[in-house]
Amino acid sequence: MCPTGLHVNRNLAAQSAEIRPAFDVIDADRDGRISRDDLRSFFSRFPAASDDVIAAMISAADADRNGFVEFEEFESVLPAAAAGGMMDEAFRMMDRDGDGRVGFEDLKAYLSWAGMPADDEDVREMIRSGGCDEASGVGFDDLLRILAVDSGKNGW
């Protein structure tokens, strides 16, 4: 270990960068914290996500007991591997035709469903920011690059 702690800080920064996209996908209302409503919205396609399960998830992560999960709390209870699993599930939800690629219509529909409607040009820009073109869509790794872009830009 480096005596300055820089090595550790770089690892923490890398872990934060891997987890942030998962947090942002779950934070449907984009208020910087995960609420029960955000979790209900995220898990709405999964019948096993009852109110009791959602309450337990919030309780397990809500260290300050304010009823919300802020990023730091989310980060402390969710290792990067689990975040990757959530992102994988989000990707499968977006990939409506199951071809392993999220196309223009898939991404636009998902953004609307998640409460982040985007116009056609915004969706095209997101696809381009992942290093892809509209015709081929984006793969899982491309999606992670898209979500790692500053979410304040253009409202997404």
Q: Give the single-character DSSP code of 69.
A: E
Write the secondary structure of 33-44 as one string of H (helix), E (strand) and C (coil). EECHHHHHHHCC
| 13 CB-side CA count, 13 A | 6
Higher pLDDT residue, 73 or 22?
A: 73
CB 145 within 8 A of CB 130: yes
Mean pLDDT, the chain, as a whole number? 75
Dihedrals phi, psi of 102, to nearest 5 degrees: -100, 110
Question: Given this model, what pLDDT does residue 71 score?
Answer: 92
**In this structure, are residues 25 and 86 in contact, taking their beta carbons and an 8 Å threshold?**
yes
Dist. CA 132–CA 78, nearest whole Å: 29
Using a cut of 0.95, tell me whether the model's pTM lies above it: no
Highest mean pLDDT among 1-10, 14-23, 133-142: 133-142
Average pLDDT estimate for 141-156: 57
CB count in 10 Å sphere of residue 44: 12
Helix then strand then coil, in percent of the chain rounded to 5, is 60, 5, 35
Question: Distance (Å, rounded) from C-alpha 55 to C-alpha 39?
Answer: 9
All structural domains of the chain, each given as residue ranges with its CATH number in brackets, are: 1-86 (1.10.238.10), 95-150 (1.10.238.10)
Q: What percent of the chain has pLDDT over 90?
A: 11
Residue 1 identity (one-letter amino acid) = M
Reported as a single tens digit per residue, the pLDDT across 47-98 is 556 788 888 888 888 999 999 999 998 888 765 445 556 667 778 878 878 8
Q: CA angle at residue 9 from 131 to 7, to 5 degrees? A: 95
pLDDT tens digits, one per residue of 96-148: 788 889 888 888 887 777 667 788 998 888 888 878 888 888 888 888 777 65
pLDDT attached to residue 32? 94
